[in-house]
């Protein structure tokens, strides 16, 4: 097939940027990375891009196609050619460009290092000198976060664009990988550090990272889990945490989000006083309901019952964050057959004891009920 591409070339020494068009003959199965290789081999040896494994393992070939981050070795060109599209390829966002499609990954690694991306088990020699064993089910809890490789999410992160110091989705997903590890003993210290300025509460929940992650890590879910764990450990002084807590309290007590009280509950009374003039302006135009008496929903008992049900099911901390079905299907995270300690072949459920509760326990029970 004939593959046409436009590539944003960049010469950092001269500071020049130019959009160049290329066309090459490529096999039907060719990926974007194969096409770039062909262009470099046959047409323009000066084209710069990174690659290593060619099989979605190393994370080196992150770049943008038509404005969205992709792994070049995971992107098949066949359908794009069939549609008649000529895609535009450019370097990843939020990182300085060195040349053409190559970015400087140092800011990415600096944030990675900032979350202490290694196990801190609180001992140097395992208990009684033996290895420290952990069940597969307990490791399932951090299975997704352990798959992280590339930086595509950082390229797409809106918060990072506004605040380059924001720790960002990849580093925070790595942080969750250790907060969720049963062997780690630095949980409180980690959660405190990740809850600081530029940390978990600075995420705007745009979900672009989750949408673009090629490995199903679901970094936004990882950030949500960190937030839930932080609150469970009473690390909740940040405005983001107070904001989230008020959503829960308000919906439980009245069945509504009482927005009039949201600002003082989030920012504190003193800071809120500075907003009085603005609030009065809103009230004048009928945009602020009177705070007293609080508006209670007619069926508030249902909201309370839902809250009680979730509390009774023990969905506390990270356990309360539902795993993304999209990611689970993408990585084929299904029940599998394994050999147990006694040598027997058994079915191991990803949501077995010690792991996360199943995201849809009610439906599952119905599925499993004898007819």
Taking the C-alpha atoms of residue 118 and residue 108, their distance in angstroms, rounded to an integer, is 16
- Residue among 43, 52, 135, 204 that touches ligand SF4 (CB under 6 A): 204
The entry of ligand FES, ligand SF4, none near residue 263 (CB within 5 to 8 angstroms by kind) is none
Nearest distance from residue 108's CB to ligand FES, in Å? 15
Q: Which residues contact 106 (CB under 8 A, 6 or more apart)?
A: none
Phi, psi of 2 (to 5 degrees): -95, 125
Q: Which residues contact 33 (CB under 8 A, 6 or more apart)?
A: 51, 54, 61, 72, 73, 75
**Taking CB under 6 A as the criterion, which residues in 241-260 touch ligand SF4?**
none
Nearest distance from residue 310's CB to ligand FES, in Å? 39
The region of 114-122, 215-223, 284-292, 305-313 touching ligand SF4 under the rule CB under 6 A is 215-223
The entry of ligand SF4, ligand FES, none near residue 173 (CB within 5 to 8 angstroms by kind) is ligand SF4
Residue showing tokens 């509504």: 256
Taking the C-alpha atoms of residue 209 and residue 213, their distance in angstroms, rounded to an integer, is 6
The entry of ligand SF4, ligand FES, none near residue 58 (CB within 5 to 8 angstroms by kind) is ligand FES
Residue 83: both structure tokens together: 């549609």
**Taking CB under 6 A as the criterion, which residues in 142-201 touch ligand SF4?**
148-153, 156-159, 169-170, 173
Which sign does the torsion angle of CA 233, 237, 239, 243 carry? positive
Taking the C-alpha atoms of residue 22 and residue 18, their distance in angstroms, rounded to an integer, is 13
Taking the C-alpha atoms of residue 258 and residue 294, their distance in angstroms, rounded to an integer, is 8
Nearest distance from residue 205's CB to ligand SF4, in Å? 5
Pick the closest to residue 290 from 268, 258, 265 (CA basis): 258
Nearest distance from residue 61's CB to ligand FES, in Å? 3
The entry of ligand SF4, ligand FES, none near residue 111 (CB within 5 to 8 angstroms by kind) is none
The entry of ligand FES, ligand SF4, none near residue 159 (CB within 5 to 8 angstroms by kind) is ligand SF4
| Positions in the binding site for ligand FES (CB under 6 A) | 51-54, 56-61, 71, 73
213 binds ligand SF4 (CB under 6 A): yes
What are 188-191's contacts with CB under 8 Å, separation 24+? 188/233, 188/235, 190/115, 190/116, 191/226, 191/229, 191/230, 191/233, 191/235
CB atoms within 10 A of CB 366: 9
Taking the C-alpha atoms of residue 216 and residue 326, their distance in angstroms, rounded to an integer, is 8
**Taking CB under 6 A as the criterion, which residues in 91-150 touch ligand SF4?**
148-150
The entry of ligand SF4, ligand FES, none near residue 208 (CB within 5 to 8 angstroms by kind) is ligand SF4
The entry of ligand FES, ligand SF4, none near residue 73 (CB within 5 to 8 angstroms by kind) is ligand FES
207 binds ligand SF4 (CB under 6 A): yes
Question: Interface with ligand SF4 by CB under 6 A: which residues?
Answer: 148-153, 156-159, 169-170, 173, 203-209, 213, 215, 217, 219-220, 223
């Amino acid at each position: 097939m004939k593959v046409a591409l436009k590539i944003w070339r960049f010469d950092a020494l001269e500071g020049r940027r130019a959009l160049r068009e290329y066309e090459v003959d490529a096999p039907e199965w060719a990926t974007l990375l194969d096409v770039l290789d062909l262009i470099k081999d046959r047409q323009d040896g000066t084209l710069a891009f990174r690659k290593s494994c060619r099989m979605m393992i190393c994370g080196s070939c992150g770049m943008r196609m038509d404005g969205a981050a992709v792994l070049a070795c995971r992107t098949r060109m066949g359908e794009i050619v069939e549609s008649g599209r000529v895609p535009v390829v450019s370097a990843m966002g939020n990182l300085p460009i060195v040349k053409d499609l190559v970015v400087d990954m140092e800011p990415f690694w600096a944030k990675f290092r900032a979350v202490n991306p290694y196990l801190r088990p609180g001992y140097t020699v395992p208990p009684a000198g033996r290895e420290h064993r952990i069940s597969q089910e307990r490791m399932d809890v951090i299975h997704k976060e352990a798959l992280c490789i590339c930086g595509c999410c950082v390229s797409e992160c809106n918060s990072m664009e506004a605040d380059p110091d924001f720790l960002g989705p990849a580093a925070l997903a790595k942080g969750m990988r250790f907060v969720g590890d049963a062997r780690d003993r630095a949980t409180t210290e980690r959660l405190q550090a990740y809850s600081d300025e530029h940390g978990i509460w600075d995420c705007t929940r745009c979900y672009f990272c989750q949408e673009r992650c090629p490995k199903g890590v679901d970094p936004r879910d990882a950030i949500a889990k960190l937030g839930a764990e932080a609150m469970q450990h009473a690390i909740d002084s940040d405005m983001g945490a107070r904001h989230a807590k008020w959503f829960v309290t308000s919906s439980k007590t009245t069945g509504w989000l009482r927005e009039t009280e949201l600002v003082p509950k989030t920012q504190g009374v003193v800071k809120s006083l500075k907003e009085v003039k603005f609030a009065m302006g809103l009230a004048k135009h009928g945009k602020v309901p009177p705070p007293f008496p609080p508006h209670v929903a007619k069926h508030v008992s249902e909201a309370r019952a839902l809250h009680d049900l979730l509390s009774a099911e023990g969905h506390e901390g990270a356990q309360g964050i539902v795993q993304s079905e999209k990611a689970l299907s993408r990585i084929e995270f299904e029940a599998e057959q394994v050999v147990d300690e006694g040598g027997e072949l058994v079915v191991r459920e990803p949501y077995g004891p010690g792991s996360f509760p199943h995201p849809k326990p009610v439906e599952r029970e119905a599925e499993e009920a004898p007819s």
